[in-house]
């Protein structure tokens, strides 16, 4: 039975013999390092008296991806002060109050609050909305921007209806109910597809959009079956709506390969199955991904690949993220490599250095999920 129905969550670490004390101590250390470690460790930085930003250390900016991730981290750990600081910084410096993208958030902002771009990235918006709903359900709504559920509903309304009354593009393609890579382009990113979030959006959004989000959840599940390779389970960074890998028309970047964004698909499959258990295909795909890394390319699991498994002799930019997300897939997988992936993750430390941001975000989410602490707050 799904976690949504029974309101209990698998602690995969305990299942494989790790003690509850060791699990909790390790989780606390992960949070302490990422939020309050030294300057070479932390990603969270207080800003003024009542704000904070989360830094992408590889690019020295703050992104809607990271800010929304950090808010989700906070609500899962009952860190309301940090959550509110992050949200106020987001609304103050990222929110676009006018122009073509009014109602969305600028995806990249300098650490002094100056926008690097006036364009949004939909993965940030969907995580903002989910974190805000969870905050509302866990802590209750406050005033102004801290009326969390109101903010979440208004954001989702923009994502769906943008362009109907004034200039702008929605973040979901209305003809197929699939999330876009960016609002103005007609392709998608498999790792943006979070059907488990859309199930909850359908319960808590504005009444008139409930059917849309129900359909979006089903459409994303069907899309992922097309985007993930039938043998390896790997997904590309970008694809067309029919699942065929594609590159960005903006610049040649080989985004049709299994690369950084793609790693999140395995994690999403795991959490989607843990929360709702809607389709056994999620289990089958998770098994294929783990088999690919533990068997097919064992010893070469830190490279770049075509989604059919062809090896590109190039080092992955985020090798720790691969380990973390493959382990998180164990929430869905039922194959023989489930424990191997979990044990490898347990014995892998947080990443250090300038590229630690992306790896350690996915590391924290994987540890939350595998310890039974990535929860639906109703």
DSSP 219-272: HHHHHHHHHS-TTT----SSB-TTS-B---SSS---TTSB-GGGGHHHHHHHHH
What is the torsional sign of CA 241, 242, 248, 249?
negative
Q: Which residues contact 272 (CB under 8 A, 6 or more apart)?
A: 194, 195, 196, 221, 278, 282, 332
Cα angle vertex 127, ends 41, 366, to 5°? 50
* Catalytic-residue membership of 261: yes
Of the residues 56, 261, 274, 359, which is catalytic?
Answer: 261
Of the residues 56, 61, 65, 158, which is catalytic?
Answer: 65
Number of Cβ within 10 Å of residue 120's Cβ equals: 25
CB 154 within 8 A of CB 144: no
Query: Measuring CA to CA, which residue among 5, 115, 8, 2 is closest to residue 64?
Result: 115
The residue length of the chain stands at: 378
Query: Measuring CA to CA, which residue among 285, 298, 377 is closest to residue 344?
Result: 298
Report d(CA 333, CA 270) in Å as an integer. Answer: 7
* Catalytic-residue membership of 209: no
DSSP 151-165: HHHHHHHHHHHTTSS
304 φ, ψ to 5°?
A: -100, 145
Residue keyed to tokens 């769906």: 160
What are the start-end ranges of the E strands in the chain? 44-47, 51-54, 62-63, 108-109, 172-173, 178-179, 303-305, 311-315
HSE-CB for 58 with a 13 A CA cutoff: 13
Three-state DSSP class for residue 61: strand
What do you get for the CA distance between the two ends of the chain, in Å? 17
Residues taking part in catalysis: 65, 261
């Amino acid at each position: 039975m799904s976690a949504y129905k029974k309101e209990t969550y698998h602690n995969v670490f305990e299942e494989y013999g790790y003690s509850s004390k060791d699990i909790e101590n390790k989780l606390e250390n992960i949070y302490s390092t990422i939020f309050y470690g030294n300057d070479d460790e932390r990603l969270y930085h207080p800003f003024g008296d009542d704000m904070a930003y989360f830094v992408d250390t590889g690019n020295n900016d703050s992104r809607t991806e990271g800010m929304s991730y950090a808010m989700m981290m906070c609500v899962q750990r009952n860190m309301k002060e940090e959550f509110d600081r992050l949200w106020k910084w987001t609304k103050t410096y990222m929110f676009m109050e006018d122009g073509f993208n009014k109602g969305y958030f600028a995806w990249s902002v300098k650490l002094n609050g100056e926008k690097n771009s006036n364009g949004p990235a939909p993965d940030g918006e969907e995580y903002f909305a989910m974190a805000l709903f969870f905050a509302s359900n866990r802590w209750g709504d406050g005033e102004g921007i801290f009326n969390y559920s109101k903010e979440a509903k208004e954001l989702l309304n923009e994502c769906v209806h943008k362009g109907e009354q004034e200039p702008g593009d929605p973040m979901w393609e209305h003809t197929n109910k699939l999330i876009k890579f960016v609002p103005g382009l007609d392709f998608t990113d498999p790792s943006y597809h979070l059907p488990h979030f859309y199930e909850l959006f359908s319960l808590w959004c504005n009444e008139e959009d409930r059917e849309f989000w129900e359909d979006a959840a089903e459409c994303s599940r069907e899309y992922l079956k097309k985007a993930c390779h039938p043998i390896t389970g790997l997904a590309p960074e970008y694809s067309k709506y029919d699942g065929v890998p594609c590159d960005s028309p903006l610049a040649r970047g080989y985004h049709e390969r299994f690369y950084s964004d793609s790693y999140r698909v395995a994690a999403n499959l795991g959490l989607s199955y843990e929360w709702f258990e809607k389709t056994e295909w999620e289990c089958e795909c998770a098994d294929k991904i783990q088999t690919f890394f533990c068997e097919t390319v064992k010893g070469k699991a830190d490279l770049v690949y075509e989604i059919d498994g062809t090896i590109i002799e190039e080092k992955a930019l985020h090798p720790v993220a691969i380990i973390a997300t493959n382990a998180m897939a164990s929430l869905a997988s039922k194959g023989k490599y489930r424990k191997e992936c979990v044990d490898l993750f347990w014995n892998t430390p947080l990443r250090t250095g300038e590229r630690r941001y992306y790896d350690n975000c996915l590391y924290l989410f994987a540890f939350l999920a595998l310890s039974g602490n990535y929860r639906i707050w109703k």
